[in-house]
Structure 1
């Protein structure tokens, strides 16, 4: 292997690691602006945001036409209507890997737990308004036996597993913001913003705040 090939392999491995370790999540306080983050929510964000934050350029906000995205230190801010907010982005990290076997990542994110209905292809939704029970849904169907990571307000991570109905019970023991995340890997040809891939890593988060 030449030095150039070795360097390319290292860079691809680093890209894959960054893409799969990072999350996109949304925070909102009341009916105020939404804040869209890219990073590792269980870790304290460095000053100025995560080193990969520059890759988050133009996340799309579902059912909000041409929102004004304002870049802040570590997050993107947008003023949107009241209610639960959903965001998605398939252009954060460019596809990686060998030609014909490239992999890519699609991020989905939601803030709020008042609406039971899902609107994203991959979403964690409350089973009832403001419930502590959530269902993991993929293309309208519950996902059973899948891990859901809960990050508590004090950044403690807990791993839950969905039951046969795709449901988990989130232990709420403190005030503050909770972040739920899940991932599913799908093999098959797909086209993302960065090009064609053979494998898609779908990442989804839901946040809610306990007053």
Structure 2
């Protein structure tokens, strides 16, 4: 009975970790807001139930920036431009000893820069473009599913082409969000110790006007 209960709890954690995303929202040059949750769903009042686990994402452009905890997101005043962050310490590893899994999140807001700065990132084909390339360690990632979340929370599944690219169907004003995931099997180091599987989840949000 105890083993069954443990297996159920671990399965629930695995589902939660892989269903959640970390994403960033920014309006113009205003403060950046960093979320943990399910972006295709309405945000619960006060934030996602797992939000407390998002403690200290690393900001690339301003690593020393102060993060202020708000109701459902972390807020930081940052220099103008695209914002990037990553976090490999949100959820503790799950699974059986020797077969444990973990997750690392990458997030970006904005589409003005045409370079990748994160290990796993969406990059616009040109500044302001609706066409994006999915990049892993400097190389395009082909034949990978991308979920597009429209301003009204409607979702659409696309697949990157041979160049790792997709064209986002922008049909109206508002904030769009893209998300993709990779599963790396093999020995990986995490802040909580070694794991056998590392899930990588990346997002980008941008405003269409």
TM-score range, shorter chain: over 0.9
Query: Once superposed, what is the RMSD of the aligned Cα atoms?
Result: 0.7
Name the SS for the 2:16 alignment partner: helix
Q: Structure 1, residues 38-96: CA drift from partner, whole Å, max 9, x if none? A: 00000001100011111101111013132101000000001111100100000000000
User: Distance in 1 between the 2:84 and 2:9 partners?
Assistant: 31
Query: Aligned match of 1:70 in 62, 68, 71?
Result: 68
Q: Deviations over 1:172-204 (max 9, x none)?
A: 111000000000000011111222101000000
1:148: which partner in 2?
146
Structure 1 gap segments, 5+ residues each = none
Deviation at 1:11, TM superposition (A): 1.0
TM-score (norm 2): 0.98
Deviations 1:117-145 (A, max 9, x none): 00000001101000010000001000000
Equivalences for residues 96-107 of structure 1 within 5 A: 96-107=94-105
Aligned counterparts of 2:205 and 2:136: Cα–Cα separation in 1: 18
Q: Distance in 2 between matches of 1:151 and 1:194?
A: 32
CA distance in 2, matches of 1:105, 1:140: 20
Partner of 1:27: 25
Q: Which residue of 2 aligns with 1:86?
A: 84
After TM superposition, list the pairs within 5 Å mapping 1:45-194 onto structure 2: 45-194=43-192
Secondary structure in 2 matching 1:17: helix
Question: Does the residue aligned with 1:204 lie in a helix, a strand or coil?
Answer: strand
Deviates more, 1:63-72 or 1:35-44: 63-72
Counterpart position of 1:197: 195
Distance 2:79 2:53 in 1: 26
Query: How many Å separate the matches in 2 of 1:96 and 1:28?
Result: 32
Q: Provide the rounded CA distance (Å) in 2 between the counterparts of 1:192 and 1:177.
A: 32
Aligned length: 209
Ranges in structure 2 where 5+ consecutive residues have no aligned partner: none
Q: After TM superposition, where is structure 1 displaced by more than 4 Å over at least 4 residues in a row?
A: none
Residue 101 of structure 1 deviates from its aligned partner by 0.8
